[in-house]
């Protein structure tokens, strides 16, 4: 089994070093700590951590909560919030992104270890549950909706939109289905007809009717195109 890679995102260098030393003594592979949102994104994309410890308040405009949203939407690994206060406003904001755990400064090495191991275990169980909630077929899947397995044909899906820890599935019959998952998790289970066109959208290319500079149409729905996804879209459709 590979050693767990941990990313620390903390703008107080002494605290980051103390956490790093504690984690290394516990046998974890500690990546170079990040002090802000931008550094953290670069490390995540290059080093692929297994778990992150995020200070809620970071230097700069972007917070640990903003970083957590990116992790949920694009990377899907567990994260723990680190905070020096537990005021109601901070907790309410943090709860919106469903962190695996909270650590309130100061904390012990034992608390740190327990939080990481519980977060990793719960995340692995969540992945198993998500997989078990779906029975894949060639042209459809069964998705657990409100406790009942519902068959969804790929040809009935227009597009999917991310909504924090949920996705909304828009169907050809004008109905929608809400499921707890990330776009990347769903993309892995859909057919090659489905294309991620924006960090918050996946479309069924069979219903793609128009592409412009920064939007496209799926039937009558207007969907934004992310800059980095445009070339991929053009490569996957019969574009002349």
> What are the pLDDT digits (tens) for 25-83?
999 999 999 999 999 999 999 999 999 999 988 888 898 999 998 898 788 799 999 98
pLDDT for the residue 185: 83
Distance CA 182, CA 136 (A): 17
Rounded to whole angstroms, what are the CA distances from 192 to 19, 80, 138, 226, 236?
43, 34, 11, 19, 9
pLDDT for the residue 239: 55
Query: What pTM does this model have?
Result: 0.58
Residue with tokens 């040809």: 155
pLDDT for the residue 134: 52
Contact 54, 115 (CB under 8 A): no
pLDDT for the residue 1: 52
Domains and CATH numbers, the chain: 5-131 (3.40.50.2300), 134-236 (2.40.50.1020)
Contacts of 102 (CB under 8 A, 6+ apart): 80, 81, 83, 86, 91, 94
Between helices 109-132 and 13-25, what is the axis angle to 10°? 70
pLDDT for the residue 47: 93
Question: How many residues would you count in the chain?
Answer: 240
pLDDT for the residue 76: 79
Contacts of 68 (CB under 8 A, 6+ apart): 54, 79, 81, 97, 99
Which residues in the chain come in under a pLDDT of 50? 135, 240
């Amino acid at each position: 089994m590979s050693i767990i890679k941990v990313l620390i995102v903390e703008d107080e260098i002494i605290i980051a070093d103390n956490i790093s030393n504690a984690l290394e003594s516990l046998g974890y592979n500690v990546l170079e700590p990040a002090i802000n949102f931008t550094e953290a994104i670069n490390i995540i994309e290059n080093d692929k951590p297994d778990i992150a410890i995020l200070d809620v308040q970071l230097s700069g405009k972007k917070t640990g909560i903003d970083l957590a949203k990116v992790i949920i939407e694009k990377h899907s690994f567990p994260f723990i919030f680190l905070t020096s206060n537990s005021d109601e406003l901070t907790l309410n904001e943090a709860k919106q992104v469903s962190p695996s755990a909270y650590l309130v400064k100061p904390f012990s090495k034992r608390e740190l270890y327990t939080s990481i191991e519980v977060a990793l275990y719960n995340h692995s169980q969540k992945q198993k549950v998500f997989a078990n909630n779906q029975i894949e077929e060639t042209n459809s899947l069964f998705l657990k909706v409100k406790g009942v397995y519902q068959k969804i044909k790929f040809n009935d899906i227009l597009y999917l939109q991310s909504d924090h820890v949920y996705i909304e599935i828009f169907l050809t019959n004008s109905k929608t289905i809400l499921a707890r998952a990330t776009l990347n998790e769903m993309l892995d289970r859909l057919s090659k007809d489905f294309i991620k066109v924006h960090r918050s959208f996946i479309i069924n290319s069979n219903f793609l009717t128009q592409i412009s500079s920064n939007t496209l149409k799926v039937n009558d729905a207007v969907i934004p195109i992310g800059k980095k996804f445009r070339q991929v879209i053009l490569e996957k459709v019969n574009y002349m």
